[in-house]
Amino acid sequence: MARVAASVGEHLAIHGPTCAVSAACASGGTAIGLAANMLLDGFVPMALAGGSDPLCPFTMSGFNSLQSLDPEPCRPFDQNRKGLNIGEAGAVLVLETLASARLRHANVLAVLKGWAMTNDASHPTAPQKQGIGLADCIGRAIEMAGCSVDDIGYVNAHGTGTPLNDIAETNAYELAFRERRRPIPVSSTKSYFGHCLGSAGSIEAAITISAIRSGTIFPTLRLTDPIESAMLDWVKGEVRHEPVPLAMSTSVGFGGSNSVLIFGSPESIES
Amino acid sequence: MNPNPPAITGIGSVTPFGTLAGLIPPSSLETALITAWPTKGPRRAFLVNPFNPASVVPGLKTRRLDRISAWGLVASSLALRDAGIDLQQVDRSRVAVVFATGFGCIELTTSFFQSAFNNGWSGTDPITFPETLANLPAGHVALLHNVRGPNITVSTKHFAAESALVQATSLLRNGQADLAIVIAGDTITQVAYEWYETGNLLSPACYASEPPFESLGFIPSEGVVAMVLEPSSDRTAHSYANLHSGRWAAGGDPCESIRQMLGNTTPTLIIAAGNGAPCATGSSNEAIAKLIAPNAVMLPAQPVALGLTDAGALLHMVLALSKRPASGQALMLATSGDSGFAALQLELP
């Protein structure tokens, strides 16, 4: 596992700390959170953080043995969802302190305003049904970001398309956003890329940043009959174009892992 | 100096020294013959004696777990017991688990591949698959103790355990957890041992019937060590050591970075650590120690901890603390040729 991070460091001749992070399918998001901690501590002024997972027989066979795969294109959050599609990808963010970015006149794409990691401590593989662990994680990230539940303009959900994940995640959002004044827009972009496992969190972080920068929210594909929820605004059908000053990316993984990242526009730091 | 550094208040271990809470009493340790798989001739390593985890932690069920998961459960339980922590009195959503490993769940990963070899990719075992993930040992620790804070598994070339301690310290410092259980370890398997052997990395002592310790190559070792970290001001608990700061890096000038970390303090004790890789030589540890703290006493790296490779730092630290060093400032130091270094600044109460 360590070899991947070490190889990146060797390739780029980076002499700072290298570290591989495992939190199963929440690895990408967790890696970004830990890198942000290192910036916060003054440990490093800049970090490369993300995830990478290739498609291979090992993972295909494993998820097949768990009967988690949908042979058809997946339908996250749909009442008729049957499972996930495995994908493969790698995505890395360059994180640096605002001071470092301003010093070198960098083009700041977004600001990581809040992040958190928690564990369900409920089951080795299944998420906690009421979504308490993920809701707690969302609450901590919102507290760190110094914003309210009403400020979040979009949630890029973990949304795998498995029966157990999607209902637990829906429950988590209902719990975390229960005091919100209007439904929270939610979509799963795993309906485009499949579930890229360890890299999902970092790819979805990039998509979340893209939503902020372009004011574009991609809908969940094939979502025709969503899980019923008065508090969630399922983004489906058409691409939405609206300002998204703050957006959240959530990740969940085997072993009970949860991670949440809240990104804001560069302008949000001034406010 | 950090005004409220995390204190190490509990230690638990499952190592070739046995299954212990607290420090490891000084004792001589001999290698054991490997019998778990067929070898080309007599092969030796520092092995954990088989034991029933439920005899240490009553009611513990580990039948379908990788040994590293089972040992993590036992070691974390012993560390919490040693720290005198009653989890009923703790906000468990504020307890973090940080796990460091070089190989992860290599035994069940091997089993999973074996089942694919025997039954084809469509006939693999659904119970084994999730247990192959590197973060499952930490997940099981969270499940056993119902602790719901950050749960992180790290693997860092040469310095996994050091990086876990630094990450745990960061979680405490940044208010993301009130207490952290740090766990580090690995198991020896046929795959790993034969890889070492093929790479010509092993000490001649691995092949001898009555081994002297040799500096050339290393003797593979296995085990798990757990530590409880909590802010030193939080309660009047006994502290084995306070962890002021830590660094690890994949290169650069270790002396400059370590001096920066130490600030105005000068350690009187150097705890040499590292792993068994040929580039992680004791001589570079000594050279750097002399440059930074020429008058410090140096405790040499222990072969049993060197054999734990990337995840050996916690065992190095426990063995050093077990020698009951004098109070004062200590520097734990591991170098790895041009592959970097790790340094931990400790205060021994």
CA distances from A17 to A6, A43, A101, A115 (A): 9, 9, 20, 21
Q: 């077990």: which residue's tokens?
A: B322
CATH number for the domain running over A2-269: 3.40.47.10
DSSP 3-state assignment of A232?
strand
What residue ranges do the domains of chain A occupy?
A: 2-269
Q: Torsion angle of alpha carbons B275, B307, B198, B40, nearest 10°?
A: 170
Would the pLDDT of A271 be above 60? no
Output the pLDDT for position B339.
Answer: 77
Q: Tell me which residue in B142, B154, B166 faces A121 most closely, judged by beta carbons.
A: B142
Scanning the structure block, which residue is given the tokens 């906000």?
B91
Contact of B133 with chain A, judged by CB distance below 8 Å, is answered with yes
Per-residue pLDDT of A92-118, as tens digits, reads 999 999 999 999 999 999 999 999 999
Q: Strands A154-156 and A246-253: what pairing?
A: parallel
Contacts of B63 (CB under 8 A, 6+ apart): none
Q: What is the model's pLDDT at position B288?
A: 86
Are A65 and B129 within 8 A, CB to CB? yes
Mean pLDDT value of segment B80-106: 96
- Domain ranges, ordered by start, for chain B: 6-239, 242-348
Residue A143 above 70 pLDDT? yes
Q: Is A222 on the interface with B (CB under 8 A)?
A: no
Say yes or no: B160 contacts chain A, CB-CB below 8 A. yes
Instruction: Using a CB–CB cutoff of 8 Å, tell me whether B142 touches chain A.
Output: yes
Q: Which of A239-253, B8-22, B287-301 is least confident? A: B287-301
- Average pLDDT of the residues in A42-63: 96
Q: Return d(Cα B246, Cα B141) in angstroms, integer.
A: 25
Give the range among A51-65, A248-262, B179-193, B232-246 with minimum mean pLDDT: B232-246
Of A226, A225, A220, the closest CA to residue A239 belongs to A220
For the stretch B116-133, pLDDT in tens is 999 999 999 999 999 999
Confidence of residue B58 (pLDDT cuts 50, 70, 90): very high
Q: Is the dihedral of CA B14, B19, B23, B26 positive or negative?
A: negative
Of the two residues B2 and B261, the one the predictor is more confident about is: B261
The pLDDT value recorded for residue B287 is: 83
Task: Determine whether A270 is exposed, middle or buried from the number of CB atoms within 10 Å of its CB (0-12, 13-18, 19+).
Answer: exposed
Q: Is B116 on the interface with A (CB under 8 A)?
A: yes
Q: CA-CA distance, B337 to B281, in Å (whole number)?
A: 7
Span B274-294, mean pLDDT? 80
Chain segment B159-198, per-residue pLDDT in tens: 999 999 999 999 999 999 999 999 999 999 999 999 999 9
Q: Output B326 or B268, whichever has higher pLDDT.
A: B268
Check residue B276 and give its pLDDT: 80
- How many residues are given for chain B? 349
Q: Residue A18: list chain B partners with CB under 8 A.
A: 156-157, 250
Q: Tell me how close the Cα of A130 comes to any Cα of chain B, in angstroms.
A: 14
Has this prediction a pTM greater than 0.95?
yes
Q: What is the pLDDT of residue B174?
A: 94
B contact test, residue of A3, A61, A123 with most B CBs within 10 A: A61
Q: Could you please state the CATH topology (level 3) that the domain comprising B6-239 is classified under.
A: Peroxisomal Thiolase; Chain A, domain 1 (3.40.47)
Per the CB < 8 Å rule, is B151 touching A124? no
Compute the mean pLDDT over every residue in chain B, rounded to the nearest whole number: 92
Q: Out of A129-143, B45-59, B331-345, which region has the weakest mean confidence (pLDDT)?
A: B331-345
CB contacts < 8 A (A, B): 175
**Which of the four pLDDT bands, split at 50, 70 and 90, describes residue A268?**
confident
Statement: residue B261 has pLDDT above 70: yes
Q: Is the pLDDT of residue B214 over 60?
A: no
At B274, the pLDDT band (50, 70, 90 cuts) reads confident
The residues in B 208-247 lying below 8 A from A, measured between CB atoms, are: 247
B130 with A62: Cβ contact below 8 A: yes
Q: For residue A171, give Cα distances in angstroms to A129, A152, A167, A228.
A: 8, 17, 6, 11
Closest CA to A110 of A90, A92, A95, A100: A95
Q: Which residue in B327, B332, B330 sits closest to B343, CA to CA?
A: B332
Lowest mean pLDDT among A156-160, A202-206, B252-256, B340-344: B252-256
**Predicted ipTM beyond 0.90:** yes
Helices (H), chain B: 53-56, 67-83, 106-119, 128-131, 136-145, 160-173, 190-198, 254-262, 282-292, 303-306, 313-322
Cβ atoms of residues A183 and A9 within 8 Å = no
Query: A254 near A197, Cβ under 8 Å?
Result: no
In 3D space, the residue among B181, B329, B317, B340 whose CA is nearest the CA of residue B247 turns out to be B340
* B142 → closest Cβ in A10, A40, A119: A119
Determine the straight-line distance between the first and last CA of chain A, rounded to whole angstroms.
40
Least CB–CB distance from B133: residue in A9, A22, A37: A22
Phi, psi at A104, each rounded to 5°: -100, 15
Task: State the burial class of residue B252 (Cβ atoms within 10 Å of its Cβ: 0-12, 13-18, 19+).
Answer: middle
Calculate what percentage of chain A has a pLDDT beyond 70: 99
pLDDT at residue A270 tops 70 = no
Q: What is the mean pLDDT of residues A11-16?
A: 93
CATH for B242-348 (3.40.47.10, 3.40.50.2300, 3.40.50.300, 3.40.50.150): 3.40.47.10
* Nearest CA among B4, B97, B22, B79 for reference residue B318: B22
Interface contact A80, partner B, CB < 8 A: no
CA neighbours closer than 13 Å in the CB half-sphere of residue B5:
20
Which position has the higher pLDDT, B235 or B121? B121
Phi then psi dihedrals of residue A61, to 5 deg: -65, -40
Instruction: Say how far apart CA A128 and CA B75 lie, in whole Å.
Output: 26
* Residues forming a β-bridge with A226: A78
Equal fold, B6-239 vs B242-348: yes
